[in-house]
Amino acid sequence: MATPESWVWEQDRLGEPVEYPGHPLVLATMVLDRYTSLDAAADALGDSFIIGSGCAVRCAMDVLEAALSGNAGALESAYVHAEHYWNGWATQTSSDAAGVTRGRVQADRMRPTFMRRLADWKGGSPVATKYARAGIDVA
């Protein structure tokens, strides 16, 4: 269930609710805004701030792991993984083509923020956002 903080994030970042089940790139950006590192984000699956189905949040974590791996083509691999999940969702919910499209548009709009926040994490100097989880230290 979403929290009041989640609603603020949705309005600030998207201007609308996250399209269910949550495009992994959108959810990964929520994680980047909420936590300061992948280790700190270990409990993101249980964090009610992160809006989305469990499998979408898990995919978002996989997207972050891929993007942070340091491997050649890591960022492209992360994007492909996110889109593969969304394509799978699209085939399951063929009656909601508008929702599938909204989720893709949200992911496209979120990409610059995702890249900026990811660069903060990679650089080892993440900037705390107003969405940061209480008790999370900034490196």
pLDDT confidence bin for 136, thresholds 50/70/90: low
Q: Give the residue-averaged pLDDT of 89-118.
A: 90
pTM of the model: 0.92
Asked whether residue 103 carries a pLDDT value surpassing 80, the answer given is: yes
The whole-number pLDDT of residue 1 equals 65
Question: Residues with Cβ < 8 Å from 126, sequence gap 6 or more?
Answer: 36, 37, 117, 120, 138, 139
What is the distance between the alpha carbons of residues 21 and 57, in angstroms, rounded to a whole number?
9
Owner of token pair 């996110």:
82
